[in-house]
Amino acid sequence: MKFSYFLFFLGSLVLATTDIYVSVSQDSIFVGDKTQLTVTAKNTTIESVEFPELDVDNENITLSLLSKNTNSMKLSLQFWKEGEHKFPSIKLNITHTDSSSEVYLTDVIEFKISQRAEGRDETLRESKLNKTLRLPFTIWQVFLISLVLIMIILINLIFSKKYHLNKELFTIQNMNILSKALNKLDSINLPNEMTNRELEKFYISLCMNIKEYLEDTFFFNATKMTTDEILTHLEINNIPHDELKILLNEADLCKFAKKQYGITKLLEVKKAAKSVLTELDKENFNLA
């Protein structure tokens, strides 16, 4: 019999145990940010919970009640100074259905408050209606952004003008190089006699003029290169050279294979050379 009473008494104690839950939405926040603290008492025998009246607004913290019912309470907290803040215990007076009562104290809760950018705390503090107000930009930030944009526009205009000026100078320089090369081609005299030596001298002058133009325009040592080396260089650099290849190969046949050409052919060669240089000049302008 005594053992039965003991079991009944032990069961009553277990059933009468009250669980107190305290939850915080955020415990690491910025100065002026809101966070919520909820206290809940859970037990089937609870008739009511008496929560303390909490309404604080001072230089350190603003605390207000959001909601409350028979077994829970929700608070809103805002901190106005950075650092570690310890929120004190909350006293709960609990009344059970059997008319018994008990007192509970919640644990101390620690909050870590971080400082915002300079001046933001005072701005938030001035607005009691909405202390979480955050302006996206300050006047100083808008001024700096505007200044940076103006500088970018000015720099772009300067470089754009410089680019067009360089383009014009490049065009003028190329025109001078081409004009010089064409004049040199015109100054090459046709052979008085169609001998191998005279033909060789004609083609050497023609090829040297073309190589000098290539050297001045495309900036490689064409005057020191063979025909194959020149064509390979142009191909590597994606410079069209089909007509030039035909012209240089004809010159090599005359210089080294002693191939004979007539006056009509030589006139065509000079005309072809002018056409080749003109086309190369257009290609150089497109590459610039």
**What digits encode the pLDDT tens for the residues 159-172?**
776 666 565 555 55
Same domain, 50 and 172: no
Same domain, 24 and 120: yes
Instruction: Note whether residue 6 is domain-resident.
Output: no
Q: Which helix (H) or strand (E) holds 101?
A: strand 101-105
Percent of the chain topping pLDDT 90: 11
Same domain, 76 and 120: yes
Provide the residue type at 206 as one letter: L
The domain boundary, picked from 101, 135, 169, lies at 135
Helix residue ranges per DSSP H, 29-138? 120-126
Same domain, 153 and 280: yes
SS3 28: strand
Tell me, yes or no, if the pTM score tops 0.75: no
Q: What is the CATH number of the domain that holds 79?
A: 2.60.40.10
Q: How many domains does the chain have?
A: 2
Instruction: Note whether residue 200 is domain-resident.
Output: yes
Instruction: Note whether residue 176 is domain-resident.
Output: yes
Q: What is the pLDDT of residue 136?
A: 56
Q: What is the pLDDT of residue 132?
A: 43
Query: CB–CB of 23/37 below 8 Å?
Result: yes
**What digits encode the pLDDT tens for the residues 75-126?**
787 888 888 878 787 887 888 778 788 887 788 888 888 887 654 444 444 4
Residue 48 and residue 41: Cα distance in Å, rounded? 9
Residue 229 and residue 221: Cα distance in Å, rounded? 10
Instruction: Note whether residue 140 is domain-resident.
Output: no
Range(s) of the domain holding residue 74:
13-135
Query: Strands 61-68, 72-79: parallel, antiparallel or unpaired by DSSP?
Result: antiparallel
Same domain, 218 and 126: no
The domain boundary, picked from 80, 115, 135, lies at 135
Same domain, 174 and 106: no
Instruction: Note whether residue 270 is domain-resident.
Output: yes
Q: What is the pLDDT of residue 157?
A: 82
Contacts of 40 (CB under 8 A, 6+ apart): 20, 21, 22, 23, 71, 72
Instruction: Note whether residue 108 is domain-resident.
Output: yes
Same domain, 19 and 116: yes
